């Protein structure tokens, strides 16, 4: 078996949730065209990734943090096929040395798919071997702004990318790995924790999630999202006709109001409003816009439960409706999080 190398020009590899490849492709092509570029996306159902072939570069570079369905976005430098299982390191190391770039470290990434799960043990082992080889050849520099990414299609087929930290997601595969806190009322708490990590930067988290601040949680029960505020010593008005977790209520930071979350109006403005209610996405988007327009909250995080078809057009429709509903510019950020399923999580605030 002879090794095959294919030099790639203007190819981007986008990692996404398995089953959402069409939406990821539509979003990539949209942003490519919006920036004046051209090209096409290549997909394989349930693969967990999309390949974007760029013919004309857009004026604005595509970045993972600006994408909803793309968790990680890697510029492919070289594709290796038919690697010799007895020595996968040497050809990759040769390419890294030829680039003249020292890297801070190496990430071996796999798709978030059933096939990718089968490759994780290999990825961990190969990452260790590759890191050792890079150190031996003095290609590692902790101060470097570049990282070596190796995306695994199979044990003999890898894509190589050397990308800056700024242009890629700061988590391997674009996935924030979180532990479920045993005292939290439900696993939905991980959605909001991940949203704070992905949709806000470190400075924003420090400024906007301070003890003593207040929040409203619409559709709160049993309190998974409320917990993310109380653990930061923030006060929460939990709005839900259902029952809240008893331990959460014992902390003294939560007031529970039995009411319809879609009809509730606060008596005074709050720093945050969050909402994880099951409803048509356009209705949720319009209600969130009302909260911002009326000044009931400074900022909001909410989920949009997407339809089975035309998901990307529905997202665009919802964001357009929100912008039309307020007399000021909106800062809207969204991502299909690792802990999301058939939904996306959105941050919105006055720009």
176 contact partners, CB below 8 Å, separation of at least 6: 194, 197, 198, 337, 338
Tens digit of pLDDT at every position of the chain (351 positions): 455 555 556 899 999 999 999 999 999 999 999 999 999 999 999 999 999 999 988 878 889 999 999 999 999 999 999 899 999 999 999 999 999 999 999 999 999 999 999 999 999 999 999 999 999 999 999 999 999 999 999 999 999 999 999 999 999 999 999 999 999 999 999 999 999 999 999 999 999 999 999 999 999 999 999 999 999 999 999 999 999 999 999 999 999 999 999 999 999 999 999 999 999 999 999 999 999 999 999 999 999 999 999 999 999 999 999 999 999 999 999 999 999 999 999 999 999
Contact 344, 335 (CB under 8 A): yes
- Assign 3-state DSSP to the chain and report helix, strand, coil percentages, each to 5: 35, 30, 40
pLDDT for 1 = 46
Residue 305 a catalytic site member = yes
In a domain, 20, yes or no: yes
In a domain, 179, yes or no: no
Annotated catalytic residue, options 86, 191, 305, 309 = 305
The verdict on 246 and 127 lying in the same domain is no
pLDDT for 314 = 97
Domain boundary among 147, 174, 201: 174
How many domains, in total, are found in the chain? 2
The verdict on 168 and 200 lying in the same domain is no
DSSP secondary structure letter of residue 332: E
Residues spanned by the domain of 113: 4-174
In a domain, 217, yes or no: yes
DSSP secondary structure letter of residue 103: B
Q: Report the distance separating Cα 107 and Cα 97, nearest Å.
A: 17
For residue 204, what is the domain's CATH number?
Answer: 3.40.50.150
* E strand spans, the chain: 4-7, 11-15, 38-43, 49-56, 72-75, 78-81, 106-109, 146-154, 157-164, 214-218, 235-239, 254-257, 270-275, 297-305, 330-335, 343-350
Structural Rg of the chain based on CA atoms: 22
The verdict on 170 and 201 lying in the same domain is no
State phi, psi for 219 to the nearest 5 degrees.
70, 50
With residue 321 as reference, give the H or E element that holds it: helix 311-325
């Amino acid at each position: 078996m002879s090794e095959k190398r294919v030099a790639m020009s203007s190819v981007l590899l986008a990692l996404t949730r398995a089953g959402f490849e069409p939406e990821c492709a539509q979003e990539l092509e949209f942003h490519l065209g919006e920036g004046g570029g051209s090209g096409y996306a290549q997909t394989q159902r349930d693969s967990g990734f999309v390949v974007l072939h760029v013919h004309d570069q857009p004026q604005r570079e595509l970045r993972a943090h600006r994408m909803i369905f793309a968790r990680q976005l890697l510029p492919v430098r070289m594709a290796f096929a038919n690697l010799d299982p007895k020595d996968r390191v040497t050809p990759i190391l040769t390419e890294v040395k030829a680039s003249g770039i020292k890297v801070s470290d190496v990430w071996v990434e796999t798709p978030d798919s059933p096939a990718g799960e089968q490759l994780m043990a290999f990825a961990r082992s190969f990452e260790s071997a590759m890191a050792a080889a890079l150190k031996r050849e003095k290609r590692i520099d902790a101060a470097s702004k570049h990282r070596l990414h190796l995306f695994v299609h199979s044990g003999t087929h890898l894509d190589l990318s050397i990308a800056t930290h700024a242009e890629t997601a700061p988590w391997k595969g674009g996935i924030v790995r979180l532990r479920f806190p045993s005292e939290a009322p439900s696993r939905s708490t991980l959605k909001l924790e991940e949203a704070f990590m992905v949709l806000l930067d470190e400075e924003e988290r420090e400024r906007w999630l301070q003890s003593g601040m207040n929040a409203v949680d619409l559709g709160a029960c049993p309190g998974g999202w409320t917990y993310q505020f109380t653990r930061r010593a923030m006060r929460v008005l939990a709005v839900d006709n259902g029952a809240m977790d008893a331990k959460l209520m014992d902390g003294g930071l939560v007031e529970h109001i039995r009411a319809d979350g879609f009809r509730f109006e606060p008596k005074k403005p709050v720093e945050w409003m969050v909402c994880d209610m099951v409803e048509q996405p356009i209705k949720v988007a319009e209600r969130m816009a009302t909260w911002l327009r009326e000044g009931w909250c400074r900022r909001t995080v909410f989920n949009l439960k997407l339809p089975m078809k035309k998901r990307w057009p529905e997202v665009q429709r919802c964001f357009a409706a929100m912008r039309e509903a307020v007399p000021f510019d909106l800062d809207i950020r969204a991502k299909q999080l690792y802990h999301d399923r058939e939904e996306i999580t959105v941050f919105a605030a006055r720009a």
